[in-house]
């Protein structure tokens, strides 16, 4: 989940700098980066759950 966290952090910085400087484009990029980071985290979470379920199935447990 590190990539998602880094993407969200980058987005927070861009968002804050954009607000401070009045740069709406940078603000929008920051919000987009934050959303992208949240999406990456969700995908990673699903991937981890699938791997865990696959491992349990191989061991014969649920």
Q: Report pLDDT digits (tens) over 10-61.
A: 999 999 999 999 999 999 999 999 999 999 999 999 999 999 998 888 777 6
Tokens of 11: 């987005």
Read off the pTM. Answer: 0.75
Check residues 31 and 2 and name the one with the higher pLDDT: 31
Please state, as a whole number, how many other Cβ atoms lie within 10 Å of the Cβ of residue 5.
Answer: 12
Instruction: Name the pLDDT band for 1 (thresholds 50, 70, 90).
Output: low
Q: Are 33 and 9 spatial neighbours (Cβ–Cβ below 8 Å)? A: no
């Amino acid at each position: 989940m590190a990539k998602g966290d880094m993407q969200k952090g980058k987005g927070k910085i861009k968002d804050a700098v954009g607000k401070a400087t009045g740069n709406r484009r940078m603000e929008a990029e920051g919000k987009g980066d934050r959303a992208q980071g949240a999406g990456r985290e969700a995908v990673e979470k699903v991937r981890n759950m699938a791997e865990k379920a696959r491992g349990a199935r191989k061991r014969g447990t649920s």
